[in-house]
Structure 1
Amino acid sequence: MQEHVLIAGATGLVGFAAMKHFATRGYKVTAVSRRKPFETFGARHVALDLTDRAACADTLSAMTDVTRVVYAALYEKPGLVAGWLEADQIETNRRMLENFFDPLEKVTPRLRHVSLLQGTKAYGAHVRPLAVPARENRSELKEQPNFYWDQESYIRTKQQGRDWHWTIFRPQIVFGFSLGAAMNLIPAIGVYAALLKEEGRPLCYPGGSSSVLEAVDADLLADAIAWAGVRDRQENAIFNITNGDVFVWKNVWSAIADALGMKPGPDAAMSLGAEMPRRAADWDAVKRKYDLVAPDMNAFVGESFHYADFTMAYGAAREVPAAIVSTIALRKAGFHDVIDTEEMFRKWFRLFQEKRLLPPC
Structure 2
Amino acid sequence: MPSKKVLVAGATGLVGYAAMKHFAAVEGCEVIAVSRRRPDETYGARWLPLDLTDPAACEALAPEFAGVTHLAYAALYERPGLVAGWQEEEQIRTNDLMLRNLMAPLERAAPGLRHVALLQGTKAYGVHVRPLTVPARENRSEMHEQPNFYWNQERFLRERQPGKGWSWSILRPVLIVGDSVGSAMNVIPALGVYAAFMRKAGKKVLEYPGGVGRVAQAVDADLLARAIAWSGEAATARNEIFNVTNGDVFVWPNVWPAIADALGFEPGAHVPLALDREIRPREAEWAEIRRAHGLASGTLRDFVGLSFEYADYTMGFGRTEPGPPAIVSTIKLMQAGFTEVMDTEAMFRKCFAAMQAKRLLPRP
TM-score range, shorter chain: over 0.9
User: Residue 323 in 1 paired to residue 319 in 2?
Assistant: no
C-alpha separation in 2, matches of 1:234 and 1:274:
42
Give runs of aligned pairs for residues 30-45 of structure 1, distance below 5 A.
30-45=32-47
Secondary structure at the aligned position of 1:14 is classed as helix
Query: Could you tell me which residue of structure 2 aligns to residue 87 of structure 1?
Result: 89
Could you say if the C-alpha distance between residues 243 and 348 of structure 1 is closer, same or farther in structure 2, counting changes exceeding 3 Å? Answer: same
Secondary structure at the aligned position of 1:330 is classed as helix
Residue by residue, what CA displacement relative to the aligned partner does 1:139-194 show, whole Å, maximum 9, x if unpaired?
43531000000000001111111121000000010001211100000000000011
Tell me, yes or no, if the aligned pair for 2:216 and 2:250 is still in contact at 8 Å.
Answer: yes
Deviation of 1:234 (Å): 5.9
Tell me, yes or no, if the aligned pair for 2:169 and 2:237 is still in contact at 8 Å.
Answer: no
Deviation of 1:62 (Å): 4.2
Tell me, yes or no, if the aligned pair for 2:143 and 2:151 is still in contact at 8 Å.
Answer: no
2:177 aligned partner, one-letter code:
F
2:73 aligned partner, one-letter code:
Y
User: Residue 78 in 1 paired to residue 76 in 2?
Assistant: no
Q: Which moved more, 1:334-343 or 1:262-271?
A: 262-271
Query: Could you tell me which residue of structure 2 aligns to residue 178 of structure 1?
Result: 180
User: Residue 308 in 1 paired to residue 281 in 2?
Assistant: no
2:44 aligned partner, one-letter code:
G
C-alpha separation in 2, matches of 1:76 and 1:88:
10
Percent identity reads: 58
Unpaired stretches in structure 1, ≥5 consecutive residues: none
C-alpha separation in 2, matches of 1:92 and 1:248:
34
C-alpha separation in 2, matches of 1:235 and 1:22:
19
C-alpha separation in 1, matches of 2:12 and 2:156:
24
Secondary structure at the aligned position of 1:266 is classed as strand
Tell me, yes or no, if the aligned pair for 1:114 and 1:165 is still in contact at 8 Å.
Answer: yes
Deviation of 1:266 (Å): 1.1
2:34 aligned partner, one-letter code:
V
> Number of paired residues?
361
Query: Could you tell me which residue of structure 1 aligns to residue 114 of structure 2?
Result: 112
Secondary structure at the aligned position of 1:70 is classed as strand
Deviation of 1:282 (Å): 1.4
Unpaired stretches in structure 2, ≥5 consecutive residues: none
Query: Could you tell me which residue of structure 2 aligns to residue 23 of structure 1?
Result: 24
Tell me, yes or no, if the aligned pair for 1:13 and 1:184 is still in contact at 8 Å.
Answer: yes
Deviation of 1:271 (Å): 1.1
Deviation of 1:24 (Å): 1.1
Query: Could you tell me which residue of structure 1 aligns to residue 246 of structure 2?
Result: 243
Query: Could you tell me which residue of structure 2 aligns to residue 293 of structure 1?
Result: 296
C-alpha separation in 1, matches of 2:64 and 2:17:
23
Query: Could you tell me which residue of structure 2 aligns to residue 97 of structure 1?
Result: 99
1:19 aligned partner, one-letter code:
M
Which of 325, 333, 337 is matched with 1:334 structurally? 337
Tell me, yes or no, if the aligned pair for 1:131 and 1:139 is still in contact at 8 Å.
Answer: no
Query: Could you tell me which residue of structure 1 aligns to residue 353 of structure 2?
Result: 350
Query: Could you tell me which residue of structure 2 aligns to residue 190 of structure 1?
Result: 192
TM-score, reference length from structure 2: 0.97
Q: Which moved more, 1:67-76 or 1:275-284?
A: 275-284
Query: Could you tell me which residue of structure 1 aligns to residue 8 of structure 2?
Result: 7
